[in-house]
Structure 1
Amino acid sequence: MAGKKNPWGKPSRGPSRDGDAGGEPEGDAPTGDNNDGPRNPWLPGGAPNGGRKPPRRSASIEDIFKNRGPEGPRRSGGGGGGPTLRFPQRPGGGSWLPIALAGVAAVWLIFSSVHFVQPGEAATVTRFGGKYVGQFGPGTNFSAPYPISVVDTENVIEIRTEEVPTKLILTGDQNLVDLSYSIRWNIKDLTLFQFQLADPIETVREAAETAMRSSVAEKTLDSVISGEGRADIQENVRMRMQSILDGYGAGIAVQGIEIDKTDPPESVVEAFNDVLAAQQDAERELNRARRYAQQVLARAEGDAEAFNQIYAEYRLAPEVTRRRLYYETMEAVLSRTDKTVIDADGVTPYIPLREVERGRTGQSAAPAGQ
């Protein structure tokens, strides 16, 4: 077998199968175009085209892998660079690009021109950057595509709540009260709500504060804190707020006001608690007096009813009724005395039975002590 080829240009020598030296004879490598020095292992093997020397390429690793990619060596054809991106073509040879652009434009027109407004919602339409042109109600509506027309949809039946934090408010009797409350409102006219006021939410809060201060100023501190005048205050605030917002053309409907907390200022809390305790004591005593008066009145009414019944019987039998009344009255009076009166012939009218009994008790005790 022929000896292995030396990568450096010289053939290797080795023994043949039958022990003789095989391969080419020893000696220097033949000279010529193909063997003019040590062979570069990075060059392609063999000399193409009848021994013509192939073009040498750089042995640098960076140069070798510079034109390689994840898909393998890059090939350049002709005199150009890499492959060019071409849009797919239709079977007839035309381009799909115009059709794709037309489809995108159609989708854009549909989605920006058709508007589905849900029940309970309303929408305003503006054109060319903010000029109001109309309003849409619930249902399917059409407009010019965006950005020619802009449609803004809002829920007009949703009840919205604004919480107002604790504020010091002056009452009608020149006292201060810490009061917090909440406002419930919804949109009455979407066009006015969006275009009449710069900040509708802030306007709602300011109108509520104005109405609340005016209403609390008509009540005393006791009525505000105890809750007796709270319902009147809430209704007055709602009406005053609605009047203010209608004057501004806000397009807002106030649904209600709810007072959450009414406390005296912290600096007078202790004294105020003492006053409240005294008021509660007075109220408790007053309730007790009312209960006693009701009991006395009920007893008097019962006695009057009994007298009326007796009088009815008296009219039927006057003599019997008088005797019965006499006996019952004497029995009631004499039952509380320690004397006995006997009204009969031959009998002492007055007998001190208590003294006689005590005398007998003393006589019977004397012998026992002797």
Structure 2
Amino acid sequence: MAGNKNPWGNAGKGDEPGVDGPSADRGSGGDGGGPRNPWLPSGGGEPGKRRSASIEDIFKGRGPEGPRRSGGGGPGGPTFRLPERPGGKSWVPVIVGGVAALWLAVSSVHFIQPGEQAIVTWLGGKYSTTLDSGTNWTAPWPIQMVEKENVTQIRSEEIPGTNTEKLILTSDQNLVDLSYLIRWNISDLALYKYQLNDPRNALLEIGEAAMRAAVARRGLDTVLTGEGRAEIEQDVNQRMQARLDAYRSGITVQGIEINKVDPPGRVEEAFKDVSSAQQDADAAINRSRAVAQQQLARAQGDASEFNNIYEEYRLAPEVTRRRLYYETMESVLSKTDKTIVESGNVTPYLPLPELQRRSQSAAQPARPQGE
């Protein structure tokens, strides 16, 4: 349309619409008849240059050439502007300083709880120091980093896991299904963190090796008894601690506890039969030993009695011989019927057994009739 105005400026006389004439000033934003640069402010200013917004302009909500409009871009809309400090200074340095102070306080002060220790490392992961319980200070993060660990907690490791069979060979070529518990804690946090690649896995491997070595030195009967278990636990504890100290692992073994010692599941019934037969054999052996002890005690008593009689015989042989004769005759004749016959022309008869029976019958009370 001939009446429309070119948004980029007024066209020269005789030029095509939308094309600047040869007399147009392309570099100015004035009203010299040339096209207007849409990226330059409409007001004054040096032609061809645009002033950048400062940080204060951004916080005060204004652009390089004046206040920015907000609230949908309409005129007179609300603007965001920080209150000014006394004297017209900006709050930006104060805010930045507060954030820096908070960051220093949070990342430099460390409260270590009782029973805990902390490892301090530099930015590259290099070990710096170990912090004890209490309030400690370090360089701020990320210059120094702190990692806490509870060193007094007693940790437990069960070998093997739940519903898992662990077969170990005894010295008499028998297999037992054995499970046990390892109780341990951290004695040196720096060694625990940096000496071994995987301290927990090393602990489990050393514990299993020590248990197999201890069981292999004992027979099945010893392993199954309570006294044998106590010996195995002590042996395993000593073996494990010696190996862990040699590795400088920073771990202390607090104790070993055997939870279960059973035969393998596939031979459990046969093992029960053998155990029952062994119990029967032990019972028979105990009964035989009791009888042997009784016989031995009786023989020792008889021998002691004979020795006493012999001592008396040595002192008075004739008297002892006569006393032995009387005692022997009394023992023999008391069990037989006896008849006394005197020598001479008259032969009186004295039926001693008959008289004895009559005296016994007279001593018994008479029974009432009807019984």
Give the TM-score normalised by structure 1: 0.62
Measured against aligned partners, the alpha-carbon deviations of 1:199-242 in whole angstroms (never above 9, x if no partner) come to: 11111111111111222222222322344422222222222222
**Which residue in 2 is equivalent to 1:209?**
208
Q: Following the alignment from structure 2 to structure 1, what is the Cα–Cα distance between the partners of residues 350 and 309?
A: 33
Q: Could you tell me which residue of structure 2 aligns to residue 244 of structure 1?
A: 243
* Partners of 1:338 and 1:354 within 8 A in 2: no
Percent identical pairs in the alignment equals: 59
Amino acid at match of 2:249: A
Question: Which residue does the alignment assign to 1:124?
Answer: 119
Residues 288 and 355 from structure 1, CA distance in 2 versus in 1: closer, same or farther, beyond 3 angstroms?
A: same
1:98 pairs with 2:64: no
Q: Distance in 2 between matches of 1:305 and 1:189?
A: 71
Instruction: Give the residue type in structure 1 aligned to 2:271.
Output: F
Q: Number of aligned residue pairs: give it.
A: 284
Say which SS state the counterpart of residue 217 (structure 2) adopts. Answer: coil
Looking at structure 2, the residues matched to 306 and 92 of structure 1 have their Cα atoms a distance apart, in angstroms, of 129
Q: 2:79 is matched with which residue?
A: 84
Q: More displaced, 303-312 or 152-161?
A: 303-312
Task: Show the 5 A alignment for 1:35-114.
Answer: 80=75, 82-90=77-85, 93-114=88-109
Q: Distance in 1 between matches of 2:315 and 2:77?
A: 139
Which position in structure 2 is the counterpart of 1:362? none
Give the AA of the match of 1:210: A
CA distance in 1, matches of 2:140, 2:341: 124
| Partner deviation per Cα, 1:53-76 (whole Å, 9 max, x = no partner) | xxxxxxxxxxxxxxxxxxxxxx97
Residue 99 of structure 1 and its aligned partner are, at CA, apart by 3.0
TM-score normalised by structure 2 residue count: 0.62
State the distance in 1 between where 2:118 and 2:257 align: 30
1:134-191 residue CA offsets vs partner (Å, 9 max, x unmatched)? 1122333221111211112222222211011231122222222211111111112111
Correspondence for 2:13: none
1:70 matched to which residue of 2?
Answer: none
**Whole-Å separation in 1 of the counterparts to 2:349 and 2:96:** 139
CA contact (8 A) 1:117 1:140 kept: yes
Query: Contact 1:181–1:261 (CA<8 Å) still a contact in 2?
Result: yes
Instruction: Could you tell me which runs of 5 or more consecutive residues in structure 2 were left unpaired when the two chains were aligned.
Output: 1-69, 359-371
**What letter matches 1:161 in structure 2?**
S
Letter in 2 for 1:135: T
Q: Which amino acid aligns with 1:175?
A: N
Using a 3 Å threshold, how does the CA distance of structure 1 residues 78 and 182 change in structure 2: closer, same or farther? Answer: closer
Q: Which residue of 1 aligns with 2:134?
A: 139
**CA shift in 2, pair 1:330/1:205, >3 Å:** same
User: Residue by residue, what CA displacement relative to the aligned partner does 1:254-298 show, whole Å, maximum 9, x if unpaired?
Assistant: 122111111111221122111111111122222233344445556
Task: Determine helix, strand or coil for the equivalent of 2:212.
Answer: helix
